[in-house]
Amino acid sequence: MSIPQIIAPSVLNADFLHLQESLSAIEKGGAGYVHLDIMDGHFVPNISFGPGVSASIHKGTKLPLDCHLMISNPESYVEEFAKAGASIITVQVETTNHLDRLLHRIRELGCHPAVSLNPATPLESILNVLDIVDMVLVMSVNPGFGGQSLIPYTLEKVRTLRKLRPQMNIQIDGGIKLDNIGQAKEAGANVFVVGSAIFGTSNPEATCREFTHQVTSL
Ligand code: DX5
Ligand code: ZN
């Protein structure tokens, strides 16, 4: 059974003065999710936005919200993001002492639980929860900023995970470009976060369509 190939543009580097245009562009460009990078200036050295802006984005798109929580103490915020309209809530394994309980809580809130791990974090740290989550996010950059370069050894983590779970949703996030998305897909990823390589171009709709075409035609 083939698994869905999904482009999830990250709005972190979108033009926030014209966010509705950006959201419409990726919808027309064939995106499957909107990826929201939630940063608290504590777990990562950057601050982005919270549940309030996420709720506004939810009103401006038909696409499911893919909320990537790069925050300390995620337990205190998952309910707010569920209320804001999140479809997927992803927590970083490095930010909680009670991952099992937190993932079950996210599902109780009616959202799809997902877990993310930083480049240097071993895959073993999430193997026990593979039956609880609907997706695993393999960070291919050190989190906190868009526009960084993909770290090659992270593709080996994707490859290992795909061998372990042939049908699981495996998301890759950070440094994805038109010239390396083929490698990420070949390694086994099927959900691709793309930020600056879409919103850093003059025509995000056409660029998003190129990415969508790439992953569905390869
Ligand atoms: C980084 C974020 C990524 C980032 C992707 O911490 O999790 O989602 O915004 O942006 P690009 O595609 O530019 O690396
Ligand atoms: Zn992200």
pLDDT band at 126 (very low <50, low <70, confident <90, very high): very high
Please give the pLDDT value at position 50. Answer: 98
Give the angle 115-32-41 at the CA atoms, nearest 5°: 45
Beta bridge partners of 38: 69
- Mean pLDDT over residues 148-168, rounded? 98
Ligand 1 pocket check for 176: Cβ under 6 Å: yes
- Mean pLDDT over residues 140-162, rounded? 98
Report pTM.
0.98
Question: 7 alpha carbon to ligand 2 midpoint, in Å?
Answer: 12
Has residue 1 got a pLDDT over 80?
Answer: no
Ligand 1 pocket check for 9: Cβ under 6 Å: no
Has residue 16 got a pLDDT over 80?
Answer: yes
- Mean pLDDT over residues 168-196, rounded? 98
pLDDT band at 26 (very low <50, low <70, confident <90, very high): very high
Beta bridge partners of 104: none
Cα distance between residue 121 and residue 63, in whole Å? 30
Cα distance between residue 112 and residue 12, in whole Å? 21
